[in-house]
């Protein structure tokens, strides 16, 4: 059973571009969580999704950020019009029924 997969592992964008981060949960897991780790800071919760539903988006910035977890395919975290402050490591985690969360390797976003 493959672990949580995230791609790309590293992403470089220029200011104003869009960033799309993908997360494939472990097989059988229907719950997906996104966290962000800013340089020299701890991980902060962003959003919790189940298939086709956003359950908790209390940690998402109000503008430019969106997330989805469609019926088929990976979960996508989308950042529009990126700014330098968006540079961070973005981690995805999955769980089967809201139990232990298993983390992916992360996507490191650099905004030039």
Partner 1 sequence: KQEVTQIPAALSVPEGENLVLNCSFTDSAIYNLQWFRQDPGKGLTSLLLIQSSQREQTSGRLNASLDKSSGRSTLYIAASQPGDSATYLCAVRRGDTDKLIFGTGTRLQVFP
33 lies in the site for partner 1, by CB under 8 A: yes
38 lies in the site for partner 1, by CB under 8 A: no
- Choose which of 1, 42, 63, 85 interacts with partner 1 (CB under 8 A): 42
Q: How far apart are CA 2 and CA 24, in angstroms?
A: 10
54 lies in the site for partner 1, by CB under 8 A: no
Q: How far apart are CA 1 and CA 68, in angstroms?
A: 23
51 lies in the site for partner 1, by CB under 8 A: no
- Choose which of 17, 20, 30, 59 interacts with partner 1 (CB under 8 A): 59
105 lies in the site for partner 1, by CB under 8 A: yes
Least distance to partner 1 from the beta carbon of 56, Å? 6
26, with CB counted inside 10 A (0-12, 13-18, 19+), is: middle
96 lies in the site for partner 1, by CB under 8 A: no
Q: How far apart are CA 74 and CA 67, in angstroms?
A: 11
Give the CA distances from residue 106 to residues 16, 22, 67, 71, in Å, rounded to whole numbers and listed in that order. 22, 10, 16, 22
- Binding range to partner 1, per CB under 8 A, among 12-20, 50-58, 60-68, 69-77: 50-58
């Amino acid at each position: 059973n493959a672990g949580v997969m995230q791609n790309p592992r590293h992403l470089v964008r220029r200011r104003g571009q869009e960033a799309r981060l993908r997360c494939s949960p472990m097989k059988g897991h229907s719950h997906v969580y996104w966290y962000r780790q800013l340089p020299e800071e701890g991980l902060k919760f962003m959003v919790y999704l189940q298939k086709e539903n956003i359950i908790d988006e209390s940690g998402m910035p109000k503008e430019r950020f969106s997330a989805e977890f469609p019926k088929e395919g990976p979960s996508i975290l989308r950042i529009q019009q990126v700014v330098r402050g968006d540079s961070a490591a973005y981690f995805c985690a999955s769980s089967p029924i809201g139990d232990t969360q298993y983390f992916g390797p992360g996507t490191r976003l650099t905004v030039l």
